[in-house]
Structure 1
Amino acid sequence: MKTSSSLTQAAYDALRAEVLTCRLAPGTKLVIADLCERLGFSLGAVREALSRLTSEGFVIAEPQRGFRVSPISEAELRDLTEVRADIESQCLRRSIEAGDIAWEGRVVAAYHELARTPERVADDPERNSEAWAQAHGRYHAALVDACDSAWLLRLRTLLYAQSERYRRLSVPLARQERDLNREHREIMEATIGRDPTRAVSLLREHLLTTTRILLSSQVVNQPATTMPEAVSSS
Structure 2
Amino acid sequence: MDMHDWPYIKKSARRKKRLVKKDFDKQLIRLDKQLDILWATKYKLPMVPLEIPYQSGWKRLFVLRGDILRSTKGEFYQNLLKKINTVQYHHDRAFKKRKRKRGKYVYSEKRQLLRVIDEYDWLRNTLKLTDREKILFSPKEVWSVRKKAMITEYHCMETWRFVLVVKPHIIYEKKQHDELLERQIKQIKNRIDRENLQPRMSKLVGGSRHKYWKWREEQKKYKNELKNKPVYSLQEDYTGY
The structure carrying a bigger helix percent of its residues is 1
Provide TM-score, normalisation by structure 1.
0.20
Which entry has the higher C-alpha Rg, 1 or 2?
Answer: 2
The structure carrying a bigger strand percent of its residues is 2
Provide TM-score, normalisation by structure 2.
0.19
